[in-house]
């Protein structure tokens, strides 16, 4: 049985690069431990290469991976997708997509963890990791009905194909364009990111991975 951690790759986007950076840091840290379950650290591409008229084409990389995993009938405990994870500020207002059923914090200083109904335990597990590791990290947890069909923005990353194939998966995200004025623009650079915030997200993600993979002491 495996645990997958993914980072989306987009060469023109420093926010998505933040997810890849956390993926690499987790690989460096976790390699020194032994686990009962296998951990797969995966980077996928083609997340934003949409073909006109094909709404599913922008997740071609993860859709191919999820289909391959299902075809081989892998047992996967859960998939953690590190989206854009490093843009956060106490002075930037937060917006949100239509259809979110619970109040969203007003300021863009939190990390969001988004799952579907089947992935509720992963959502709760991320919150537990923050609390267990005593990380000062504001967070927003959301479990959407079904596979997120009523809130299309909840499907805008590489977790969605795993939902569609019946796997538990969550998206860990700074909410991208719902807070950052630099989204897909020339100002989307390392200098605009909050690296202290990203470190806390990395620690929380690592805490959840350790719980899922069952650390051997």
* pLDDT, tens digit (0-9, with 9 covering 90-100), for 56-75: 667 888 999 999 999 999 99
Determine the 3-state secondary structure of 137 from DSSP: coil
Query: What would the mean pLDDT of 179-190 be, rounded to a whole number?
Result: 90
Say yes or no to pLDDT of 163 above 60: yes
pTM above 0.85, yes or no: yes
Say yes or no to pLDDT of 176 above 50: yes
Residue 15: per-residue pLDDT: 47
Please compute, for residue 20, the number of CA atoms within 13 A of its CA located in the half-sphere on the CB side. Answer: 13
Phi, psi of 139 (to 5 degrees): -145, 160
Residue with the larger pLDDT of the pair 93 and 56: 93
**CA of residue 188 relative to chain centroid, distance:** 19
Q: CA dihedral defined by 120, 20, 165, 73, rounded to 10 degrees?
A: -110
Compute the distance between CA of residue 35 and CA of residue 211 in angstroms, rounded to an integer: 10
* 167 Cβ contact list (under 8 Å, min separation 6): 66, 69, 70, 76, 78, 79
Say yes or no to pLDDT of 206 above 60: yes
Residue with the larger pLDDT of the pair 12 and 31: 31
Residue 214 pLDDT grade (very low, low, confident, very high; cuts 50, 70, 90): very high
Q: For residue 6, list its beta bridge partners.
A: 42, 81
* pLDDT, tens digit (0-9, with 9 covering 90-100), for 100-156: 999 999 999 999 999 999 999 999 999 999 999 999 999 999 999 999 999 999 998
Residue 9: per-residue pLDDT: 45
Compute the distance between CA of residue 121 and CA of residue 211 in angstroms, rounded to an integer: 12
Going along the chain from its start, the domains and CATH numbers come out as 2-213 (3.40.630.10)
- Find, among 16, 134, 133, 143, the residue nearest to 85 by Cα: 16
Do strands 169-173 and 111-116 pair parallel, antiparallel, or not at all (unpaired)? antiparallel
* pLDDT, tens digit (0-9, with 9 covering 90-100), for 16-47: 789 999 999 999 999 999 999 999 999 888 77
Compute the distance between CA of residue 28 and CA of residue 69 in angstroms, rounded to an integer: 25
Residue 47: per-residue pLDDT: 73
- Alpha-helical runs (H) found in the chain: 14-30, 60-72, 120-132, 160-164, 195-213
Say yes or no to pLDDT of 205 above 70: yes
């Amino acid at each position: 049985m495996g645990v997958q951690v993914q980072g989306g790759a987009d060469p023109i986007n420093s926010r998505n690069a933040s997810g890849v950076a956390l993926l690499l840091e987790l690989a460096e840290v976790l390699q020194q431990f032994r686990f009962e379950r296998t951990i797969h650290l995966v980077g996928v591409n083609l997340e934003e290469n949409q073909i006109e008229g094909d709404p599913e084409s922008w997740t071609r990389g993860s859709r191919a991976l999820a289909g391959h995993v299902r075809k081989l009938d892998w047992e996967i405990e859960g998939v953690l997708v590190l989206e854009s994870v490093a843009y956060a500020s106490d002075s930037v207002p937060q917006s949100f997509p239509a259809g979110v059923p619970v109040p969203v914090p007003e300021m863009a200083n939190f990390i969001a963890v988004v799952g579907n109904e089947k992935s509720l335990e992963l959502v709760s597990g991320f919150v537990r990791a923050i609390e267990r590791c005593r990380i000062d990290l504001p967070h927003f947890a959301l479990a959407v009905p079904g596979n997120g069909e009523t809130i299309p923005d909840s499907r805008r990353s590489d977790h969605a194909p795993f939902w569609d194939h019946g796997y538990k998966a969550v998206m860990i995200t700074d909410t991208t364009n719902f807070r950052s004025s630099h989204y897909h623009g020339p100002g989307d650079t390392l200098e605009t990111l909050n690296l202290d915030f990203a470190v806390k997200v990395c620690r929380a993600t690592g805490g959840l991975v350790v719980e899922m993979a069952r650390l051997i002491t």
